[in-house]
């Protein structure tokens, strides 16, 4: 088809080819520190990863970051979408405000939270100090136990709007007869919520969970600006690990191998994603 | 015999009334909490951008600037003039007090221009490439139609970080590192699937008879698309333009890999470089942040209706 040709050409050149090429170079040992020798090493880049503690640590941190953020996003978005599904004055304004975090560039979001968490002059310290929750300023991002949660918080703040809008669609699709019928049957508010609202939101929920998981496991910008993987290796997640391995250690072969594994994980998720969308085409 | 309502009905009514009041209260309180949750971080950023460097380092912080100032913005807009405007030259501040504007500040406006050029080019190419494809998939029966849809959808979900390594090697080989072209091509790849996806949903909603009528009247496929379908699909086209623009304006990872100098650095890259520079004054940094935030937020607020319809296009069944 002539009409399809441009899209196929673009996607073929810029999406399919890199993925194939990535697989190809993941079988070689390519180090820019030694540009003239790129020996074929077969599956060595992959088998090396199996015993690589730094890699598994990064995988584990990515998993915990994603679990924490996606749970928080889904929960907050549920509350917000229930609220915005009500009729009240100011609802329009509120739903417009909701778009603000969505529109902000991730880099500006990161800059903003870095400033909020700042150890000397940040708003978080200032607020907690004024409210007497802390008696001296804290180095928030320097605390290994808290870093991942603080980054997750910045991520959640930015992602809640989209999740809310997706959930609102499934809320709006619930026919009001269902509620009327439940009321006639004597269901309480809570029973109506559990037996009518929640089941109807299930597809919306699945969509949000899968999409946000995909976003969380690949996320990079916040880690780059807020912590650079630190302190220690507290926020050394997989995407950061790939970046360091590739562009700081200049080891393109193993970087490619890792990004290939990440792509496969995402493909698996996207399969679920497309299935959930239940495309009729 | 007169009918008097039984006692428990009155009780029921009162309970219902109390229930409604409680419901209103819950709604009002949660609406306020939500507004605060969303606006507080942003207001802090904005407030800091209008404070002087002396004020910004006060403990506890001033939530509202006591002496609001525009000098952070002045510094951005006048950077790069013959006589560099720094806080030292203007107010005689102590350079050791961290009152410092980075020498790269003069790249800020050019980087905004870069972002703008890349975003506009990506929007135009998206329409040129995406519209025909969406029309073909929605209105023409052909072999491999389902496969094409899945193919396009799947490319949408490849993580950027997985594309970066091979792409970097290819771009380096082509000698395209540090050019706006490298950004335009890659952004096209990450935005086109979404464009096609939104447009398919919309075109499918338009009746097939339109297509047939246009063809009977002697239109070619291309004419049918341009004269009949495009004017009718304006809302979805607006959504596509907005999404593509915002994605390109906000993108960071690929730009980080492919750009090196002010010839191709986009706004997010420059912002990021400021954040890693410990000597940069906080007030300046926040002003730069505000500049990066304002355009997309205005776009989002003005075109709210289109954005929400675009975001939900993927969520409702086609």
B99 within a domain of the structure (yes/no): no
Distance of CA A115 to the CA centre of its chain: 21
- The Cα B38–Cα B53 span in angstroms is 26
Q: How many CB atoms lie within 10 A of CB B303?
A: 18
**pLDDT per residue over B295-317, tens digit each?**
889 988 888 888 887 777 655 44
The closest alpha carbon to A250, from A82, A84, A30, A77, belongs to A30
pLDDT band at B80 (very low <50, low <70, confident <90, very high): low
The model's confidence at residue B178, banded by pLDDT at 50, 70 and 90, is confident
> Could A99 and B301 be called an inter-chain contact, meaning their C-beta atoms sit closer than 8 Å?
yes
B141: containing domain:
107-313
Contact between A102 and A162 under an 8 Å Cβ cutoff? The reply is yes
Distances (CA, A) of B78 to B86, B109, B261: 10, 10, 20
Residues from chain B that touch A220, judged by Cβ atoms under 8 A, are: 160-161, 252-253
Question: What CATH number corresponds to the domain at position B145?
Answer: 1.10.3720.10
CA–CA distance, A51 with B197 (Å, rounded to integer):
41
Helices (DSSP H) in chain B: which residue ranges? 7-49, 53-56, 71-78, 87-91, 108-139, 145-156, 160-173, 180-205, 208-216, 221-223, 230-232, 234-250, 253-258, 267-275, 282-302, 304-313
Residue of A4, A9, A248, A249 to mutate, interface with B, max B Cβ within 10 Å: A4
Q: CA torsion angle for A44, A46, A48, A53 (degrees, to 10)?
A: 170
Q: Is A257 on the interface with B (CB under 8 A)?
A: no
Domain count, chain A: 1
Dihedral Cα A260, A18, A33, A223, nearest 10 deg: -60
- Residues B114 and B23 placed together within one structural domain of the fold: no
Percent of chain B topping pLDDT 90: 12
pLDDT at A187 over 70: yes
% residues pLDDT > 90 (chain A): 24
Residue A28 lies in a domain: no
| Residue A14 located in a structural domain | no
Residue B82 falls inside a structural domain: no
B154 lies in a domain? yes
From A256's Cα to the closest Cα of chain B, the distance in A is 6
In which domain, by residue range, is A85 found? 38-277
Q: Do B252 and A106 touch (CB under 8 A)?
A: yes
Tell me the pLDDT of chain B averaged across its residues. Answer: 80
> Hey, how many other C-beta atoms are within 10 angstroms of the C-beta on B36?
11
> How far is B214 from chain A, CA to nearest CA, in Å?
18
What pLDDT score was predicted for residue B6?
62
Nearest to B189 among A6, A11, A94 (CB): A11
Closest-CA distance of chain A to residue B289, Å: 6
Within a domain: residue B74?
no
Task: Write the residue in A13, A96, A170 that is nearest to B304 by C-beta.
Answer: A96
3 state DSSP class of A251: strand
Based on the fold, state whether residues B111 and B183 are members of the same structural domain. yes
Answer whether A25 touches B (CB < 8 Å): yes
Secondary structure letter of residue B80 according to DSSP: T
* Cβ-Cβ contacts under 8 Å for B166 (sequence gap 6 or more): A17, A18, A19, A21, A22, A25, A256
Interval A44-60: pLDDT, tens: 888 888 888 888 999 99
Residues B112 and B27 grouped into a single domain: no
Q: What is the pLDDT at residue B95?
A: 44
> What pLDDT does residue B115 have?
92
Span A169-181, average pLDDT: 83
To the nearest whole angstrom, how far is the Cα of A98 from the nearest Cα of chain B? 7
**In terms of domains, do B243 and B131 share one?**
yes
Count CB neighbours of A255 within 10 A: 28
């Amino acid at each position: 088809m002539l009409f399809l040709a441009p899209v196929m050409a673009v996607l073929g050149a810029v999406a399919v080819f890199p993925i194939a090429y990535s697989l190809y170079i993941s079988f070689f040992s390519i180090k820019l520190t030694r540009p003239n020798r790129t020996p074929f090493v077969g599956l060595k880049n992959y088998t090396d990863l199996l015993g690589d503690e730094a890699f598994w640590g990064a995988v584990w941190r990515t998993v915990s970051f994603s679990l924490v953020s996606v749970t928080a996003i889904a929960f907050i978005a549920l509350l917000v979408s229930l609220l915005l599904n009500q009729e009240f004055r100011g609802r329009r304004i509120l739903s417009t405000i909701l778009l603000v975090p969505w529109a902000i560039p991730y880099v500006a979001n990161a800059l903003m939270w870095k400033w909020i968490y700042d150890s000397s002059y940040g708003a978080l310290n200032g607020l907690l100090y004024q409210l007497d929750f802390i008696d001296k300023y804290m180095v928030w991002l320097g605390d290994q136990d808290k870093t991942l949660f603080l980054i997750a918080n910045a991520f959640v703040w930015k992602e809640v709007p989209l999740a809310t809008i997706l959930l609102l669609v499934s809320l709006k699709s619930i026919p009001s007869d269902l509620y009327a019928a439940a009321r006639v049957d004597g269901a309480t508010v809570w029973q109506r919520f559990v037996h009518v609202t929640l089941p109807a939101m299930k597809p919306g929920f699945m969509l949000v969970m899968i999409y946000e998981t995909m976003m969380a496991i690949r996320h990079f910008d916040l880690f780059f600006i807020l912590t650079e993987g630190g302190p220690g290796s507290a926020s050394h997640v997989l995407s950061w690990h790939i970046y360091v391995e590739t562009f700081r250690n200049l080891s393109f072969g193993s970087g490619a191998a890792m990004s290939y594994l990440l792509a496969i994980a995402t493909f698996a998720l996207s399969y679920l994603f497309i299935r959930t969308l239940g495309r009729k085409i | 015999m007169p009918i008097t309502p039984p006692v428990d009905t009155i009780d029921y009514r009162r309970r219902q009334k109390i229930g409604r009041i409680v419901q209103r209260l819950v709604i009002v309180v949660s609406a306020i909490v939500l507004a605060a949750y969303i606006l507080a971080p942003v207001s802090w950023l904005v407030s800091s951008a209008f404070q002087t460097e002396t004020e910004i380092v006060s403990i506890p912080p001033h939530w509202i600037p006591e002496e609001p100032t525009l000098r952070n913005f002045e510094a951005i807009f006048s950077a790069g003039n013959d006589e560099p405007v720094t806080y030292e030259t203007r107010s005689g501040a102590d350079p050791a007090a961290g009152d410092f504007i980075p020498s790269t500040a003069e790249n800020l406006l050019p980087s905004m221009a870069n972002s703008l050029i890349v975003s506009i080019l990506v929007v135009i190419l998206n329409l040129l490439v995406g519209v025909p494809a969406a029309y073909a998939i929605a209105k023409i029966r052909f072999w491999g139609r389902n496969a094409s849809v899945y193919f396009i959808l799947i490319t949408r979900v490849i993580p950027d970080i997985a594309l970066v390594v091979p792409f970097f090697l290819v771009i380096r080989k082509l000698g395209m590192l540090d050019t706006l072209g490298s950004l335009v091509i890659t952004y096209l790849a990450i935005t086109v699937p979404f464009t096609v996806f939104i447009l398919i949903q919309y075109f499918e909603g338009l009746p097939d008879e339109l297509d047939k009528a246009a063809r009977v009247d002697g239109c070619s496929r291309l004419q049918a698309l341009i004269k009949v379908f495009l004017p009718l699909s304006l809302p979805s086209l607006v959504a596509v333009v907005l999404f593509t623009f915002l994605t390109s304006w906000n993108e960071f990872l690929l730009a980080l890999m492919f750009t090196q100098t002010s010839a191709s650095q986009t706004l997010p890259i420059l912002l990021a470089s400021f954040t890693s520079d410990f000597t940069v004054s906080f007030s300046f940094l926040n002003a730069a942040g505000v500049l990066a935030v304002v355009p997309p937020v205005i776009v989002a607020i003005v075109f709210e209706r289109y954005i929400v319809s675009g975001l939900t296009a993927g969520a409702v069944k086609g």
